[in-house]
Amino acid sequence: MKNRTRQVLLFGLPTDIDFALLQKQKEWLAHQPKVPEVEGLLSFLDWFQDTAESVLGDEGPYVVFGDKPKAEPVIFRKWRAAPRTVVALFPEIDAGTSLGGTKLCQSYEHVGQHGGAQYDHVIHLTKAATPGEYAGLKAELEQRGYVLAVRKHKPTQYRNYKNKKT
């Protein structure tokens, strides 16, 4: 590999791996007493390096080890009132209950970052954000390790339908 430090998605977390340092660690371990723990670690490091290098080659940005993270549905909205920033709503991530007893979903903004939000209330106070408007926030979330599935509305099974009077 030309660039020996690469980003690896390790069990859902972006991690920088220095493969030159990994090689030095393997060489050091090879000179340690031959006990099952050392042999097991050497075997794992060999597999890890071989797999990463075969998938990455010289050009690939990262490789996934462990379970591939689930794409998280996200709805990007823009506040109607100043400062008209973009908010990301995660309708499938429970953020608890408000003091009034309303269920909250997870939300994220550049300033303030994670917090609970009343989905219907935020929808009422915002409008749909365009891809150009939410590009920066989407990139920030992806840099934090999120795998996103952008939606215009929350999935039907998560909508809070009011009971109709009969």
pLDDT at residue 72 in the model = 86
Distance (Å, rounded) from C-alpha 87 to C-alpha 134? 8
Could you check whether the bond before residue 91 is cis, i.e. omega within 30 degrees of 0?
Answer: no
Question: What is the CB neighbour count within 10 angstroms for residue 88?
Answer: 25
Give domain limits for the chain.
5-65, 72-158
Residue whose structure tokens are 């490091």: 45
Low-confidence ranges of the chain (pLDDT < 50): 1-3, 59-61, 161-166
pLDDT at residue 2 in the model = 44
pTM of the model: 0.56
